[in-house]
């Protein structure tokens, strides 16, 4: 049976959803720990595939059980994000669908030391709903871009910064 690429992606997504729909918190933690161990051994493209799969699982979890998602990311980051997860799609989905959890998610992302923290915070600031842009997040954003690399990145990708103009018209 031949499938087109998008059909195969949908097939893979559904297969993952079926597998993880029965997981509880401890099952997810075990999965993350196993992913950490696997990623220690393999490098390159396979690592990226693991990241995409973990992000897909987190995206699913953010849509069906936000409390469990928040508890899991807190656990992942408390452990130092040893698996090197970067939540491209799941954090975007979470902030879009679950706006009432924005402050709680930001506290988790901002108050811990972990690998890839810059990526998590950049994704947060990029995907923060315009409804939630305020002085507090703008102040944290300014602190974030004090790092020259992030400042350069944000300068090159300034589209998302426009939403912060409602708080500071001189954000650029």
Are 58 and 141 found together in one domain?
Answer: no
Domain that holds residue 32: 5-127
pTM of the model: 0.82
- Cα–Cα dist 130/112, whole Å: 25
Euclidean distance between CA atoms 159 and 162, whole angstroms: 6
Residues 53 and 119 in one domain: yes
Judge if 53 and 75 occupy the same domain: yes
Q: How many domains in the chain? A: 2
- 101-130 residue pLDDT tens: 999 999 999 988 998 888 899 889 888 888
Same domain, 110 and 37: yes
Do 172 and 116 lie in a common domain?
no
- If asked whether residues 63 and 141 sit together in one domain, one would say no
């Amino acid at each position: 049976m031949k499938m087109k690429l998008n059909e195969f992606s949908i097939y893979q997504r559904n297969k993952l959803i079926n597998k993880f729909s029965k997981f509880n918190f401890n099952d997810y933690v075990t999965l993350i720990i196993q992913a950490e161990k696997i990623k220690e051994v393999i490098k390159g493209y396979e690592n990226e595939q693991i990241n995409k799969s973990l992000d897909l699982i987190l995206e699913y979890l953010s849509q069906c059980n936000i409390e469990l998602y928040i508890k899991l990311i807190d656990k992942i980051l408390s452990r130092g994000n040893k698996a090197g997860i970067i939540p491209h799609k799941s954090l975007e989905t979470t902030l879009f669908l679950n706006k009432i959890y924005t402050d709680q998610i930001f506290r988790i992302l901002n108050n811990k030391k972990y690998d890839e923290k810059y990526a998590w915070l950049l994704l947060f600031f990029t995907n923060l709903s315009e409804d939630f842009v305020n002085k507090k997040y703008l102040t944290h954003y300014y602190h974030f871009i004090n790092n020259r690399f992030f400042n350069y990145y944000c300068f090159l990708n300034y589209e998302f910064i426009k939403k912060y103009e409602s708080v500071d018209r001189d954000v650029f």
